[in-house]
C-alpha cells in the first residue's frame, strides 16, 4: 500500500477549474476555506439568507444559490448529509451540471447503495478526510493536514484520479497522507467502525460498565469516573501511539487486568455480533433500514436516541462536568 504525499500530487489537475461546494456544514466549511487558501476557485452553493450563506459570507467564501453554483462548476462536491444527497442530485445537480464535470463525495454511502446514479459523462470520485471538519481546518492552518482516503468510481474524462488527488491535496489530505481505496471499502469500513466500535460499541460498553457498578451498589459518580471519564485518557494513548503506548503508560496491575480480563468481555460471541453488523452493511440491509426509517419520519431512531440521552449516566455526568472548569471555553470559565 502506498501512502501519497504532497510531492506525489499534481495540483494543476484542477487548475483554472471552478469548485462548487454544496453544503456548508462541518466538512463543507473546512473544505471550502482550505481550497480557497490553496489557491483554487471556490464557490459554495447555499440557500440565500440561511445559516450556510451567513457563515460562508463571514468566511469570505463566494456564495451562490445551489443551482447557480452547479451551473458553472467543473467539480461539484456534495457535502450535505447522506439522506439529503439523492434530492440534491436529482433537483439541483443532474439537470444543471455541465458535461465532463466531476462529482465528489466525502463518504461513499449514496453511490455505493445506489441512491445517486451519476450521468455517464461525469467523473465520480471520493475524498474522505479521517477527521471532523474542525480538525481538517485547524491542521491546515498549522501547515499540516489530516490523512484522507480517495477513490474513483467513474472516470469519464480520464482525469478523475488526478482531480481527486488535487482536491485532497487542496484540503490538506496529502500533507497528512493519502491512501487510495474504493467506494465500497470506504463506505463499509466507515459504517462498521461507527457502529461496532467508535460510536455504537464504545457507547454500549460504557453504559454496561456503569450500570454493572451501580447495580452492585457503588456510587454512580465513582462509576462514571471509572467507565466514562477516564476513557478519554486511554483513547488519547491509543491515538498517539497505539496499544503499545497504552501499555507503556498504565500500571502493571492495569496491564495485567487488560490482557487477562479484556478477552472475557470481547468474546467469540461478541465478534460474531460484529460479523452480523458487517454482513448487514455489506448486504445493504442497514442502508435500507436507515432509508426506510427516514421515510417514516424516524420514530424508532428518535426513541432510541432519546433512550440514550435519558440514560442515568447522562444525569450523573452532567452534574460532575459542571465542576470541570477545563471543559469550559475561556469565555465561559
Active site residues: 107
- Of 23, 154, 22, the closest CA to residue 96 belongs to 22
Q: Is 267 exposed, middle or buried (0-12, 13-18, 19+ CB in 10 A)?
A: exposed
Q: Is 146 helix (H, G, I), strand (E, B) or coil?
A: coil
Residue that has been written with the C-alpha cell 500500500 in this structure:
1
User: In this structure, are residues 282 and 276 in contact, taking their beta carbons and an 8 Å threshold?
Assistant: no
d(CA 82, CA 62): 24
> Which residues are CB-neighbours of 73 under 8 A, at least 6 positions away?
18, 19, 20, 43, 97, 98, 101
Compute the 3-state secondary structure of the chain and give helix, strand, coil in percent, each to the nearest 5: 60, 10, 30
Only one residue has cell 498504565, namely 250
* DSSP single-letter state for residue 64: E
Q: Which residues are annotated as a binding site for NADP(+)?
A: 24-27, 47, 133
d(CA 18, CA 159): 15
DSSP 8-class letter at 98: P
Which helix or strand (DSSP H or E) is residue 286 part of? helix 285-295
DSSP per-residue codes, 185-212: HHHHHHHHIIIIIITHHHHHHHHHHHHH
What kind and span of H or E run contains 175?
helix 173-176
Going by the annotation, the residues of the binding site for Mg(2+) are: 190, 194, 226, 230
* Residue 303 exposed, middle or buried by CB count within 10 Å (0-12, 13-18, 19+): exposed
Name the binding residues.
24-27, 47, 133, 190, 194, 226, 230, 251
- Angle between helices 26-37 and 160-170 in degrees, nearest 10: 90
Amino acid at each position: 500500500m502506498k501512502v501519497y504525499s504532497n510531492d506525489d500530487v499534481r495540483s494543476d489537475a484542477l487548475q483554472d477549474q471552478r469548485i462548487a461546494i454544496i453544503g456548508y456544514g462541518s466538512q463543507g466549511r473546512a473544505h471550502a476555506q482550505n481550497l480557497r487558501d490553496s489557491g483554487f476557485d471556490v464557490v459554495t452553493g447555499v440557500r440565500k439568507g440561511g445559516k450556510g450563506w451567513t457563515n460562508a459570507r463571514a468566511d469570505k467564501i463566494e456564495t451562490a444559490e445551489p443551482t447557480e453554483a452547479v451551473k458553472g462548476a467543473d467539480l461539484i462536491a456534495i457535502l450535505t448529509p447522506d439522506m439529503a444527497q439523492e434530492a440534491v442530485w436529482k433537483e439541483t445537480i443532474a439537470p444543471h451540471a455541465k458535461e465532463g464535470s466531476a462529482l465528489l463525495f466525502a463518504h461513499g454511502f449514496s453511490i455505493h447503495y445506489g441512491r445517486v446514479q451519476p450521468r455517464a459523462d461525469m467523473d465520480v470520485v471520493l475524498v474522505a478526510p479521517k477527521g471532523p471538519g474542525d480538525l481538517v481546518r485547524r491542521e491546515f492552518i498549522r501547515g499540516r493536514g489530516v490523512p484522507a482516503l480517495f477513490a474513483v468510481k467513474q472516470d469519464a474524462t480520464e482525469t478523475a484520479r488526478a482531480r481527486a488527488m488535487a482536491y485532497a491535496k487542496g484540503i490538506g489530505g496529502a500533507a497528512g497522507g493519502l491512501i487510495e481505496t474504493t467506494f465500497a471499502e470506504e463506505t463499509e469500513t466507515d459504517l462498521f467502525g461507527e457502529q461496532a466500535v467508535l460510536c455504537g460499541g464504545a457507547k454500549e460498553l460504557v453504559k454496561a460498565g456503569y450500570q454493572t457498578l451501580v447495580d452492585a451498589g457503588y456510587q454512580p459518580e465513582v462509576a462514571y469516573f471509572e467507565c466514562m471519564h477516564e476513557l478519554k485518557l486511554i483513547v488519547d494513548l491509543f491515538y498517539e501511539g497505539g496499544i503499545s503506548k497504552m501499555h507503556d503508560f498504565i500500571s502493571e496491575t492495569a496491564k495485567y487486568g487488560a490482557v487477562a480480563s479484556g478477552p472475557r468481555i470481547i468474546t467469540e460471541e461478541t465478534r460474531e455480533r460484529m460479523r452480523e453488523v458487517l454482513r448487514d452493511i455489506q448486504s445493504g440491509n442497514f442502508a435500507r433500514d436507515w432509508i426506510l426509517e427516514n421515510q417514516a419520519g424516524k420514530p424508532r431512531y428518535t426513541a432510541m436516541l432519546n433512550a440514550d440521552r435519558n440514560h442515568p449516566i447522562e444525569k450523573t455526568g452532567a452534574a460532575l462536568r459542571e465542576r470541570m472548569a477545563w471543559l469550559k471555553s475561556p469565555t465561559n470559565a
